[in-house]
Amino acid sequence: MKWYMWRNIVGHESLIGTLRTFVLTGKLPHALLFAGPAGVGKTMVAREFFKAVNCLDSPGDACDACRSCVKMDSGSHPDFIMVGPSDNRTVITIEHIRGVISEVSLKPFEARFRFVVIEPAERMNNPAANALLKTLEEPPGATLIVLVTHNPILLLPTIVSRCQVLRFTPLDAVASSKGPTDPYILRLTCGTLGGLKDFDEAQVLSVRSEILQALLEGDPVRLVNRYFPSQEKGGELLPLFVLLAESLIRDLFVLLHGGGDLVNEELKRLPLRGVDYLELEEAVSCLRSIRRGSNENIRLSNALGELFMRLQQMLCA
């Protein structure tokens, strides 16, 4: 059998073998702990695992074409639940976990198994962790809880003991000839080929350099119009532009929360006085419009230009 579900994942062969066994035998644990360095693809693996478990046309694999797979890829599957800090908080609170408990008390809407992914799990405060512990002690049916962390030592030992732990190795130790090797691209792709599988490293680095120069010193709208002269058609480079924009937005959120590992390390040297949650939310809204563009007939180049203008205002204010 060819395992399409893993075609975009670089490395982690032993870990993926364990997940394959879960799928083939139908014996899913009630809780998994994905532990490993930031940026190695832990959340991507959780997403691909969900697709494999719940695929309608090829159970145990992921066809990428059925209703379940398509909903998962579009981020609209009601049974894949992401839990993390909200608003301007840096912790996961008991209110977040109570919401999870309420969800898992019900049957999944569509899927065979509901997934609840808590990331970063080490951000749970003590009341939240204790509330989750009670759920792990009495696991609900048809639900898999996945804790994602790069610092498992910060989790309650009682929580860790109730999860099956899968450890992710550093990406540079496993990528080698199977994927990107440039340090920036390793961070950008988070351990997966994903949307970059059609681009070589030189092209990615060249476009990134042009985007950063336009954002920091030039006219990003002119750059967008040069690459995307058609208003309606995104073109083959659209996934690359979107991924690069996502990486910048993600880094700005990280810096707003006090710092951490960045994809674009140059941002650490900028004052970033124009960054706030409202502006980031507007940028995310633009990004969503672009992702929906092929279905809603929006003017993609206009939306992309607006997104990069917002990024420029935050970076250069």
Which residues share a beta bridge with 33?
147, 165
pLDDT band at 4 (very low <50, low <70, confident <90, very high): very low
Burial class of residue 93 in the structure, from the number of CB atoms within 10 Å of its CB (0-12 exposed, 13-18 middle, 19+ buried): middle
Question: Longest Cα pair distance anywhere in the chain, in angstroms?
Answer: 57
Distance CA 154, CA 156 (A): 7
Residue 75 has a pLDDT of 84
Average pLDDT in the 90-94 region? 89
Instruction: State yes or no: pLDDT of 309 exceeds 90.
Output: yes
Give 148's DSSP letter: E
Average pLDDT in the 126-145 region? 91
Q: Which residues in 100-121 are b (16+ Cβ under 10 Å) and which e?
A: beebbeeebeebebbbbbbbbb
Instruction: State yes or no: pLDDT of 317 exceeds 80.
Output: no
Average pLDDT in the 262-266 region? 85
Residue 9 φ/ψ, nearest 5 degrees = -100, 130
Distance CA 255, CA 276 (A): 10
Which residues share a beta bridge with 165?
33
From the CB of residue 282, how many other CB atoms can be counted at a distance below 10 Å?
A: 15
- Per residue in 65-88, pLDDT tens? 889 988 888 888 999 999 998 766
- Per residue in 102-129, pLDDT tens? 988 889 999 999 999 999 998 899 899 9
Average pLDDT in the 134-143 region? 89
Which residues share a beta bridge with 116?
81, 145
Tell me what percent of the residues of the chain surpass a pLDDT of 90: 31
| Average pLDDT score over the chain | 81
Distance CA 142, CA 209 (A): 46
- Per residue in 143-164, pLDDT tens? 999 999 988 878 888 999 999 9
Distance CA 32, CA 13 (A): 17
Residue 251 has a pLDDT of 83
Distance CA 110, CA 87 (A): 29
- Per residue in 226-257, pLDDT tens? 988 865 555 778 888 888 888 898 788 878 77
Which residues share a beta bridge with 31?
145
- Per residue in 271-300, pLDDT tens? 888 888 788 888 887 877 776 664 444 577
Helix 201-217 × helix 300-316 angle, to 10°: 60
pLDDT band at 193 (very low <50, low <70, confident <90, very high): very low
Instruction: Specify the higher pLDDT residue, 139 or 38.
Output: 139
Distance CA 69, CA 50 (A): 9
Residue 171 has a pLDDT of 57
Distance CA 261, CA 110 (A): 36
Distance CA 186, CA 190 (A): 6
H-state helical runs in the chain: 13-25, 42-54, 67-74, 94-104, 126-137, 157-161, 183-189, 201-217, 220-227, 238-256, 277-296, 300-316
Residue 276 has a pLDDT of 85
Helices and strands, number each (H, E), in the chain: 12, 5
Contact present, 300 and 293 (Cβ < 8 Å):
yes
Tell me what percent of the residues of the chain surpass a pLDDT of 70: 80
Instruction: State yes or no: pLDDT of 29 exceeds 90.
Output: yes
Residue 138 has a pLDDT of 87
